[in-house]
């Protein structure tokens, strides 16, 4: 699978893949039942990137958030774009969480499980979470994400998507670490306010998105040309809505 150089891509990442607060409001509603209880123990955002979700959790729920991110470039971008007094940026990897045992109220992993050693990460999550604490995983699981807008224009990116951990494998690995599946839901998001804006994000995200990074130059150019024709033919701007799966285990 193609690897994104996140230090290099950090400057474009937010513009290519960032979502405004209103675009992810359905996600707030989906995670609220798991975070409703008042608790000052931190939530750990594993693979926090540029910090958009760490900041969102701090604002939505008043949560203290440990924003764990291995890329120095992404942490610098998060400090510029997503700083919040209740968010503590920390350098570290999912496979070796720099946190005390039983210290966290919840864990959040957004579009990150295809980047990590899932077995080791699951054991680390079990170690740092309190008993019964939820793990909230937002991902494009290959068997549930076949209708992503990106794949409509870049169909060969499906080959990279098929190498992402499946929902079944993810649940099996987490189960072996002591977690039990509690919920699965497909949550809508407004990926872009229009197809033209989506195309702009694709241009910026050539090296900031795992699926786009998996494409050779010919496949990328062909998909971009197809997308640009669709933009030209769009009679009026309409939001681009996608669904990613939210898996909750405890």
Residues forming beta bridges with residue 185, ordered by sequence position: 246
* Residue carrying structure tokens 């594993």: 46
- The pTM of the full predicted model, rounded to 2 decimals, is 0.94
Cα dihedral 77, 82, 47, 19, rounded to 10, equals: -100
Cβ within 8 Å of residue 125, ≥6 positions away:
46, 97, 107, 135, 177, 179
Whether 74 and 84 have beta carbons less than 8 Å apart is answered as no
What's residue 61's pLDDT?
A: 94
Which spans in 88-194 are helix H? 118-128, 149-153, 158-161, 167-176
Q: Which residues of the chain have pLDDT under 50?
A: none
Whether 237 and 196 have beta carbons less than 8 Å apart is answered as yes
What's residue 21's pLDDT?
A: 84
Cα dihedral 132, 136, 142, 144, rounded to 10, equals: 90
* Strand 240-249 to 135-139 pairing: antiparallel
- pLDDT single digits (tens) 92-150: 999 999 999 999 999 999 999 999 999 999 999 999 999 999 999 999 999 998 889 99
SS3 state of residue 43: strand
What's residue 124's pLDDT?
A: 98
- Kind and range of the H or E run holding 136: strand 135-139
6-142+164-191+242-249 topology per CATH: Rossmann fold (3.40.50)
What's residue 2's pLDDT?
A: 52
């Amino acid at each position: 699978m193609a690897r994104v150089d996140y230090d290099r891509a950090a400057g474009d990442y937010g513009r290519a893949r960032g979502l405004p607060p209103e675009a992810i409001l359905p996600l707030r509603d989906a995670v609220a039942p798991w975070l409703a209880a008042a608790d000052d123990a931190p939530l750990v955002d594993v693979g926090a990137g540029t910090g958009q979700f760490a900041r969102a959790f701090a604002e939505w729920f008043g949560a203290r958030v440990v924003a764990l991110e291995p890329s120095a470039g992404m942490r610098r971008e998060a400090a510029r774009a997503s700083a919040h007094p209740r968010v503590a940026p920390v350098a570290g990897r999912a496979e070796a969480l720099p946190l005390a045992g039983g210290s966290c109220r919840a864990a959040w992993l957004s579009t990150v499980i295809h980047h990590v050693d899932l077995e080791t990460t699951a054991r680390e999550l079990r170690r740092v979470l309190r008993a019964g604490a939820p793990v909230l995983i937002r991902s494009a699981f290959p068997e549930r994400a076949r209708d992503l807008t990106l794949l409509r224009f870049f169909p060969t990116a499906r080959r990279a998507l098929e190498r992402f951990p499946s929902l079944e494998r993810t649940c099996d690995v987490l189960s072996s670490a002591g977690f039990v599946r509690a919920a699965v839901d497909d949550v809508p998001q407004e990926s872009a306010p229009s197809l033209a804006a989506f195309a702009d994000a694709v241009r910026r995200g050539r090296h900031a998105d795992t699926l786009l990074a998996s494409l050779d130059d010919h496949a990328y150019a062909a998909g971009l040309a197809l997308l640009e024709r669709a933009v030209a033919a769009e009679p009026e701007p309409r939001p681009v809505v996608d669904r990613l799966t939210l898996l909750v285990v405890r």
